Amino acid sequence: MDMTRRNFLGTSAAAVIAAGTTAKGKVFGANNNVRFCCIGIHGQGGSHMKDLLKTEGAEVVALCDVDGDVLRQRARQLEKETGKKPKTYVDARDVMADDSIDAITIATPNHWHSLLTIWACQAGKDVYVEKPLSHNHWEGRQLAKAAEKYGRVVQHGTQGRSSATWIRDIQLMHDGFIGRINMAKGFTYKNGNRHAIGHRMVADPPKNLDWNLWQGPAQESDYYINKDVFEEKGREQGIYVHYNWHWVWPYGNGEIGNQGVHQMDLAVWGLGRNTFPAQVYSSGGRFAWDDDADSPNTQTTTMTYEDGAILVFEVRNLGSYEEAGQTTGNHFFGDTGYYVEGSGFFNYQHEPIPIPEDAPKPQGRSKWENFLRAVHSRKPEDNTCDGLVGHISSAHCHIGNVAYRLKRSLNFDPKTERFVDDEEANAMLTRNYRSPFVVPEIS
């Protein structure tokens, strides 16, 4: 079946699956290579392309970006590296309709992550999706359902779960090496890496940018340039495109959902509850900087689980001391000792606890090697950070942001994944989607 964008959108998911790949018996490319399309290739997506070029068993055959200048530049770069001209797409729906593509990587702004992943699952493609896996809690759950329903490999790009050291050390914690883990602390300070973004000014989008597609599931908005730069230098510089969208709620999730989700994933993993907190409170603000961003540059979030365990997460973008020599990291506290990322285990007399010589440490693999292994084997245990795992970790960030934005403590039901008797908070678990970029409910 020759798929097009039109019949991709108008075809039932079951028919799309029949036209695309299936969980078993897939014939990959030459030398059994998995054929990739990288979607969103300005920053991290460009790194995806470069990494895959060096990864055995991977072949980048297509690129997709709503910025024509970026697309042409990356295509020239890829052709120079491989000697082959890649397919290029502006609209990701055309990627989904291309049966020659086996897998996609996603490094678009956050508000596109879940919809692209669900579309890919429905089209029979496997997915490596950058963090956070979702822009809001509800769509993350739909993504996890889609991966299961359509039998696709979806790997979340928080990366820590591919680390042999983390796999060993967290297994020790789960085995009781320092007793029951009662508390986790994650932090991201990003000293000197974050700044005020300036003030908005309405302007026409540049000709190279498809602003309609860039907005996608978000409600339609004017295009903004940086007023401060324009008045000072006469240059029209997009205020959100290509990076500062992270700091406004329609497209991003603030620092807790940017760098922070890496450490949040490790905190959730180390605690070992594999569920959501029952109570959350978050406070902070956007201090010192005079700009038009929404998200806090200083934020402390406390989450309490039904068994009393606590997760504390700190964001500080204005500057901070280093903790154990790190500006991002994780600490864990058990009955008999504690763990400091990069330093190891200690008792409460602050004496190191040696790691047992016979503690198993798995073979280290890159995130791409793990992804390809899972794509070929179709075994769940080969997927180091699947859609459900990614949903739980990303949703911790979303729940924290809801509490921050409402400025009050919230009770959450881990079973229903809803706030308790709080419709204002529950409304913030999802968003109003813009047709035709609507995240579907997966049954």
Each residue of 145-192: pLDDT tens digit? 999 999 999 999 998 999 999 999 999 999 999 999 999 999 999 877
Residue 345 confidence (pLDDT) above 50: yes
Q: What is the pLDDT of residues 63-77, one digit of tens each?
A: 999 999 999 999 999
Owner of token pair 């600490």:
331
CB count, 10 Å around CB of 145? 19
Question: Do residues 36 and 155 make contact, with C-beta atoms less than 8 angstroms apart?
Answer: no
Q: What is the mean pLDDT of residues 204-220?
A: 98
SS (H, E, C) 395-421: HHHHHHHHHHHHCCCEEEECCCCEECC
Question: Do residues 356 and 189 make contact, with C-beta atoms less than 8 angstroms apart?
Answer: no
Owner of token pair 């068993």:
57
Quote the pTM value: 0.94
**The pLDDT value given to residue 15:** 37
The rounded distance, in Å, linking the Cα atoms of 394 and 391 is 5
The rounded distance, in Å, linking the Cα atoms of 283 and 106 is 31
396 strand-pairing partners = none
Residue 9 confidence (pLDDT) above 80: no
Residue of 194, 215, 216 whose CA lies nearest to 260: 194
Domain 165-193+253-360+387-427: CATH class, spelled out = alpha beta
Residues 6+ apart with CB under 8 A from 85: 75, 79
Domain limits, the chain = 5-161, 165-193+253-360+387-427, 200-243
Residue 366 confidence (pLDDT) above 50: yes
10: confidence class by pLDDT, cuts 50, 70, 90: low
Paired tokens of 25: 């018996």
Q: What is the pLDDT of residues 104-147, one digit of tens each?
A: 999 999 999 999 999 999 999 999 999 999 999 999 999 999 99
Strands 337-340 and 200-203: unpaired
Paired tokens of 15: 């028919």
Alpha helices in 133-163 (DSSP H): 137-149
Chain centre distance of CA 435: 23
Question: Do residues 215 and 361 make contact, with C-beta atoms less than 8 angstroms apart?
Answer: no
Owner of token pair 């699956």:
17
Q: Specify the CATH number of the domain 5-161.
A: 3.40.50.720
**The pLDDT value given to residue 143:** 98
Question: Do residues 139 and 119 make contact, with C-beta atoms less than 8 angstroms apart?
Answer: no
Strands 126-130 and 103-106: parallel
Residue 21 confidence (pLDDT) above 90: no
325: confidence class by pLDDT, cuts 50, 70, 90: confident
Strands 126-130 and 154-157: parallel
Residue 27 confidence (pLDDT) above 80: no
Amino acid in position 170: I
The rounded distance, in Å, linking the Cα atoms of 259 and 255 is 6
Q: What is the pLDDT of residues 256-296, one digit of tens each?
A: 999 999 999 999 999 999 999 999 999 999 999 999 999 99
Amino acid in position 102: D
Question: Do residues 147 and 122 make contact, with C-beta atoms less than 8 angstroms apart?
Answer: no
**The pLDDT value given to residue 308:** 97
